[in-house]
Structure 1
Amino acid sequence: MPLVFSLAWRFRSNKRQNGFISFISASSTVGIGLGCFVLILLLSVMNGFERELQDRLLAIIPHGEYTAVDVNGLADWQEEIRKLSDDNRISFIEPFVKATGMLQKGNELKAVEMSALSPDFAEQNQKVTQVTDAQWQTFLRNENAVLLGQGIMQHLELKIGDKVQLLLPQITNDLSLRAPKSLWLDVVGSLNLAGELSNHLGLMHMSLAAETLGVKNGAQGLRLRFNDPFAAPIIVPELGFAMAPEVYMSDWTRTEGNLYQDIQLVRSVVYVALILVIAVACFNIVSTLVMAVNEKQSEIAMLKSMGAKDSLIIQTFMLQGLLNGAIGTLWGVVLGVLMASNLAQVAHFVETLFNVQFLSGDVYFIDFLPSELHWNEVVMTAIIALLLSLLATLYPALKAAKINPAEVLGH
């Protein structure tokens, strides 16, 4: 073993070492490991939330919407679909009519946002709604059929096969209100939607909604989904300005973007906070080495009197401190990777054991703790911890190299 490694390990594992120094040394190792463990775990949770946001919520809601300024709807929307279909960034396009009104059953009322869809685009919409094949086929055959979110059905105590009344407000050209139009719809299925969407979203036929609301062109606008939903804020304006009719433009970040922004904010705060935790733990390395240098002045003086150069002394104490950081980083990374890889199972076990629920499916778009491990973040965490540990050793190592052998041995 090279001399510098031998000296560093001997100084670190010396059984005659002051007990307080050993305690501070162990504290620095544990602190660094704990910081790495929590950082890897929380970053994996944030990655998991971002993945579920994309796979679940963004699979249901449109990534971009173009709504006609004209009250009669979007003129020549079939041609607009044909032109947009040539863009390889778009995965799906469909026309829509949006009807906001009230559902009534008996004395109970519930506000609802009805998305009216065309059966011509049935295949993709069935994947999004996640209803059974039988319910979807029944919906396609019956123009008066409606699919309602589970939250709406629970609130109105509806079941499949019931009839429900839909009240749609009428707005005249002078913005005055008339008596609402009433439709009786057949409940043919429930939508397994995410979080709050289940409490206010329903699906009906576009032709019926257009006729009821007086949308003469048959569609109010177009809805798009992109291969990369996070590119929607850039793509939506680009395509919207190129369209012939005047349209209002919107993307998912305006309606559900607060959730994505919260995830990114928490990720940044967690990263900064836990890096500071690791940095504070590294200050214990400074304390440990400073006390070790003061305790081992005679050994350092004898080494220098035997011909040891300052560089050897500096490398010895830097390596001693780096060993503390490396051991802490190693066990922190290992535990962090193991926990992040099995977080869903561990969380479920804790929920079952203590009869608690961390996330409610009625409020959030998922009812479990997601986790997705990114190895680049694991490597970055380990590198940052080792660099901070190395920086913490500089001052004590330089102080050790400045010890005067004649002065120390003379006493």
Structure 2
Amino acid sequence: MLRPIPAAIGLRYLRAKRRNGFISFISLASILGIAIGVTVLITTLAVMSGFQKEIRDRMLGMVAHATISADGDTMQNWARAVDVARQDPRIAGAAPYIDTQALLRGVRNEPAAIRAVSPEDEESVSDLGTAMVEGALSDLQPGSFNIVLGRELALWLGVHVGDSVIVTTDFQVTPMGAVPQLKRFTVSGIFEAGYQDFDRRLAVVNLNDAQRLLRVGEGVTGVRLKLHDMDRAWDVARDLAMRLGGSYMVSDWSRENANMFRALKLEKTMIGILLSLIIVMGSFNLVASQVSLVTDKQADIAILRTLGLTPGGVMQVFMVQGTMIGVIGTVLGITGGLLLTFNLEHILRGIERLFGVVLMPEDVYYVTGLPIDLQVSDVVMIASVALVMAFLATIYPAWRAARTAPAEALRYE
């Protein structure tokens, strides 16, 4: 238990002017090392969280929170599924869809994922309509055989709005052998989701046109759902499938993109661990400063021991003094981290103007500003790590001080 006398002495040592300037310098270096490490960690994790949130939001703007599909070729009773879903207060929107793969031929050939949607219902489950940069999603009328392409996909195909593309789906068996199914579509619009998997690989057509092209009658691949709370996507979709009866396959956004989110989380964790080494370096400086302080205070330790202070009390003196250095460094680091994080975009813009460079090209990162998502849990975690490292760094010097023999320490005084 921490007693008031050792704590008071430890705090006095923290404020006292050192006879040895080198010890003061190392203590200052310890504070700066911990503060810089905390500042860099807070800012870096805030930027990484911002990019992750930006990627997730853009991805979820184009995909459903959850999907229900038939455990077979096509889902025939999708209209009932949509009606039941819209009556559920947890579901914000529901829409049928068809997914298939195709080869698109314009000036050049390019494989793509074809998504067939109902333009009237699609707005309730995705942001595709707001992502249009040319044309409108409403141009996908039944029987028009119009197609909407991602910006990069249109670029690779070498086509523009008004041009035609040949869509080749699967092969149809005829008396003359396997013949590919071909259909000419007119490019009626181009979208830009800001996410390469969609901009490069996705083409959108009308649901009825896809049904005719694929010869699936009134069937669809499944029903896409948008929820008010996307973290409950799996449970809500499963409940809906059970109410519909029959055999269905249920999936949600976290499972469909599990590898990507796992990779982003791993990347953030590894960078956090690597940058924590800056705090470790500050903690090593703290060990050095404490060891030097113990050596410098040999006479003081001996006098305290002769006055009745126990070895445990001596340990507390130096642990309090070292821990307070860690606390000061952590507080300075949190303050610096918050200031740097909230002003980072202005700093980057100033550097760009000063040196005439572009640090974040829009055509590379698909963002016009620096995304930042400062999470309280990250700040608490970083502060806790810094304080624990600072506390651990005081144990050996304090233990060494407690072992000081008063007679030996005072022999040459």
TM-score range, shorter chain: 0.7 to 0.9
Show the counterpart of 1:60: 62
Aligned pairs, number: 404
Distance 2:123 2:134 in 1: 10
Deviation at 1:59, TM superposition (A): 1.5
Q: Deviations for 1:101-123, whole angstroms, at most 9, x for unmatched residues?
A: 23333x42232222111133154
Residue 181 to residue 133, structure 1, CA distance change in 2 (3 Å): closer
Residue 119 to residue 370, structure 1, CA distance change in 2 (3 Å): closer
Q: How does 1:3-402 map to 2 (within 5 A)?
A: 7-8=9-10, 11-12=13-14, 15-71=17-73, 73-105=74-106, 107-124=107-124, 127-130=127-130, 131=132, 135-140=136-141, 143-160=144-161, 162-172=162-172, 177-185=178-186, 187-196=187-196, 197-232=198-233, 236=237, 239-240=240-241, 243-275=244-276, 277-306=278-307, 313-350=314-351, 353=355, 355-358=357-360, 361=363, 366=367, 369-402=370-403
Distance 1:165 1:283 in 2: 65
Residue 189 to residue 172, structure 1, CA distance change in 2 (3 Å): closer
Is the CA contact (8 Å cut-off) linking 1:286 and 1:392 kept in structure 2?
Answer: yes
Residue 397 to residue 203, structure 1, CA distance change in 2 (3 Å): same
Deviation at 1:136, TM superposition (A): 3.8
Distance 1:311 1:98 in 2: 71
Deviation at 1:325, TM superposition (A): 0.9
Distance 2:267 2:239 in 1: 30
Residue 3 to residue 11, structure 1, CA distance change in 2 (3 Å): same
Distance 1:303 1:92 in 2: 74
Is the CA contact (8 Å cut-off) linking 1:99 and 1:209 kept in structure 2?
Answer: no
Deviation at 1:151, TM superposition (A): 0.9
Aligned residues with identical type, % of pairs: 28
Is the CA contact (8 Å cut-off) linking 1:126 and 1:136 kept in structure 2?
Answer: no
What SS is found at the alignment partner of 2:109?
A: strand
What SS is found at the alignment partner of 1:171?
A: strand
Larger displacement relative to structure 2 (250-259 or 320-329): 250-259
| Structure 2 segments unaligned to the other structure (5+ residues) | none
Larger displacement relative to structure 2 (381-390 or 117-126): 117-126
Distance 1:255 1:368 in 2: 28
Q: Deviations for 1:345-399, whole angstroms, at most 9, x for unmatched residues?
A: 434444554624447655x664654211122332332233223322322332343
Q: Which amino acid aligns with 2:166?
A: L
Deviation at 1:298, TM superposition (A): 1.4
Residue 12 to residue 126, structure 1, CA distance change in 2 (3 Å): closer
Is the CA contact (8 Å cut-off) linking 1:129 and 1:193 kept in structure 2?
Answer: no
Q: CA RMSD in A?
A: 3.3
Is the CA contact (8 Å cut-off) linking 2:287 and 2:393 kept in structure 1?
Answer: yes
Deviation at 1:81, TM superposition (A): 1.7
| Structure 1 segments unaligned to the other structure (5+ residues) | none
What SS is found at the alignment partner of 2:75?
A: coil
Is the CA contact (8 Å cut-off) linking 1:100 and 1:114 kept in structure 2?
Answer: yes
